[in-house]
Amino acid sequence: MANLRDIKKRIASVNSTKQITRTMEMVATAKIRRATDRIVDAIPYAMAILEVLEAVAQKSVGTDSPLLQTHADLKRILVIAVVSDRGLAGGFNANVLRATDAFITKNKAKGIECDIIVCGKKGLSYFNYRKMPVVLSFRDQSADPKIAQAREIASYIIDAYISNKVDQVVIFYNHAKNVADQITLSEQVLPVDHYAFTEVVADEDDIVHLDESAKAASAYQRVLTEARESAAELITTEEISGDFDYEPSAQTVLESLVPSFVETRVFHALLDSAAGEQGARRKAMKAATDNANEMVTTLTRIYNRARQGAITTEITEIVGGAAALEEE
């Protein structure tokens, strides 16, 4: 039977771990709120830019914007992996990194080289350890992504694409579906698909629809849905007539919009991932806290049994001793 003092020590240690995980859970919960607010703040711009793009695209102006052209030869792909700076978030980082790694391995087998842009320390150490080519990396920004970071990534990938250094750009990130669940997504950023404009809008609709059907009206989903609706209400009160005058010309407007669209897309992936990170951490820490609680219960039971056993032994000894004395 285990020593009473040892069990007591273990209970104390599990309890102190529990305190840490519970605090981390609460911190993550508070941060989810902030991360969600940031997404909500960014929605009006994204919706507006999509609407403008759609309106211009409807005009079907002839454009030779290099960002819309697919490269005939697919020789080199630029992969953007968005993960976090910190661990203790369950499978959050591993899912994206594994998906990215699998994607790269698959393409290597086909003879396509891959370069990597990585956001988040966890990703950097993963790829550096495997000696995979990281061309651009960001650290200490995963919890609070700034538009400047998205701009830097966008300008790098646009330059690389235009100068034919890469033939495709794909981004891997965690989409925060709701507070608890994250989905690992991969999206093609470049070349920008002409039809992708409307597809993205359709995606947004899907998400709203999903929220409704799930009826899981958590604060997170409600806020997001409301923001989308209010943005949509402002921008699509009437069908865009398509009779806009363009200054300087429709083509120039479209060509200057495309880079902004790329930038917005990257920024959204970063924000989405930041919200997902907190969600994943909260979930992981909640599981850890629950496990710790269970462990304390089990250990306490063992402790009590051991104590009981010790008392019983003692009594038996005393009774035995007394009986022996009486006999004398």
Partner 1 sequence: MARLLKCDIVTPDSRLFRGEALLVSAPAAEGDIGFMFQCAPLMSILRRGMVRIKSDNDEIHAFAVDGGYIEADGNKVVVLASRAIDVATIDETIARERIAANEQRIAELADDDPAVTFARAEIVWQKHLLSVKT
What's the closest the beta carbon of residue 250 comes to partner 1, in angstroms? 8
d(Cα 202, Cα 239) in Å, to the nearest integer? 16
Asked whether position 225 contacts partner 1 by CB under 8 A, the answer is: no
Place of tokens 């970071």: 149
Asked whether position 202 contacts partner 1 by CB under 8 A, the answer is: no
What's the closest the beta carbon of residue 224 comes to partner 1, in angstroms? 15
User: Quick one: tokens of 247?
Assistant: 């200054």
Pair type for strands 168-176 and 76-82: parallel
Give the alpha-carbon dihedral of 20, 22, 27, 29, to 10 degrees: 160
Q: Exposure of 42 by Cβ count < 10 A (0-12 exposed, 13-18 middle, 19+ buried)?
A: buried
Q: Which is nearer to partner 1, 208 or 240 (CB)?
A: 240
What's the closest the beta carbon of residue 142 comes to partner 1, in angstroms? 16
d(Cα 296, Cα 183) in Å, to the nearest integer? 33
Of the candidates 128, 34, 138, 146, the one whose C-alpha atom is nearest the C-alpha of residue 85 is 138
Residues 6+ apart with CB under 8 A from 137: 117, 118, 119, 123, 124
Q: Which is nearer to partner 1, 124 or 271 (CB)?
A: 271
Q: Which is nearer to partner 1, 29 or 252 (CB)?
A: 252
What's the closest the beta carbon of residue 286 comes to partner 1, in angstroms? 30
Q: Which is nearer to partner 1, 4 or 49 (CB)?
A: 49
User: Quick one: tokens of 158?
Assistant: 């646009």
What's the closest the beta carbon of residue 152 comes to partner 1, in angstroms? 7
When binding is defined by CB under 8 A, the residue of 10, 22, 33, 38 that contacts partner 1 is: 38
User: Is-contact 274 144, C-beta < 8 A?
Assistant: yes
From 66-74, 126-134, 233-241, 285-293, span contacting partner 1 (CB under 8 A): 233-241
When binding is defined by CB under 8 A, the residue of 14, 24, 32, 56 that contacts partner 1 is: 56
User: Is-contact 85 121, C-beta < 8 A?
Assistant: yes
Pair type for strands 113-119 and 182-190: unpaired
Place of tokens 């607010």: 37
When binding is defined by CB under 8 A, the residue of 28, 55, 166, 196 that contacts partner 1 is: 55
Q: Is the peptide bond before 145 cis (omega within 30 degrees of 0)?
A: no
Q: Is 226 helix (H, G, I), strand (E, B) or coil?
A: helix
Q: Which is nearer to partner 1, 28 or 158 (CB)?
A: 158
Site for partner 1 in 152-171 (CB under 8 A): 152, 155-156
Site for partner 1 in 264-293 (CB under 8 A): 264, 267
Site for partner 1 in 237-266 (CB under 8 A): 237-238, 240-241, 243-248, 250, 252-253, 256-257, 260, 263-264
Angle 121-129/92-109 helices, nearest 10 degrees? Answer: 40
When binding is defined by CB under 8 A, the residue of 15, 22, 44, 137 that contacts partner 1 is: 44
Binding-site ranges for partner 1 (CB under 8 A): 38, 41-42, 44-46, 48-49, 51-52, 55-56, 146-148, 150-152, 155-156, 234-235, 237-238, 240-241, 243-248, 250, 252-253, 256-257, 260, 263-264, 267
